[in-house]
Amino acid sequence: MSLRTPLGSALGRGAAKAGVHHWWVQRLTAIALVPLGIWFVVSLLSLPSLGYSAVSAWMSQGWTAVLLILFVLTVAWHSQLGVRVVVEDYVHGAGPKTALLVLVTYLHVIAAAAGVFAVLRVALGGAP
């Protein structure tokens, strides 16, 4: 006879309450990207030129820099979630799938870090 209570044998075996996390963050970033995406595309199209002086002046404005950083981070996060699902769906075999998922995650973190660094460097006047 086991001395474990029914509760004891059930604890820790149920849902970790994390199943909805991917779905939820995917939606959070999606909602944020509706205004951010429109803002980014419209801003690029309405810049007088895409030359260095116009672009760096634009990026140096306070809210532009903040929104650009939010845009880069949100795109990277949303993209990571999306590409992850595609890899999970279409790449079979635990080895290749895991390797590709790790690679995809790293690439997105690198993209996010580089994007934030670049915006800050221009916005804070650190660009050469």
**Interatomic CA distance for residues 74 and 31, integer angstroms:** 10
Please work out, in degrees rounded to the nearest 5, the angle formed at the alpha carbon of residue 98 by the alpha carbons of 93 and 102: 155
Question: Which span (2-10, 13-21, 47-55) binds another protein, by CB under 8 A?
Answer: 47-55
Per-position x/- string for 81-110, each x denoting binding to another protein as judged by CB under 8 A, each - no binding: -xx--x-xxx-x---------------x--
For Cα atoms 105, 101, 80, give the angle at the middle one, nearest 5 degrees: 45
In this structure, what DSSP letter does residue 45 have?
A: H
- The binder of another protein chosen from 25, 32, 55, 70 (CB under 8 A): 55
Cβ atoms < 10 Å from Cβ of 65:
18
Pair of tokens at residue 84 = 């992850």
| Site membership for another protein, residue 115 (CB under 8 A) | yes
Residue ranges in contact with another protein by CB under 8 A? 27, 30-31, 33-34, 37-38, 41, 45-46, 50-53, 55-56, 59, 68, 72, 75-76, 79, 82-83, 86, 88-90, 92, 108, 111, 114-115, 117-119, 121-122, 126-128
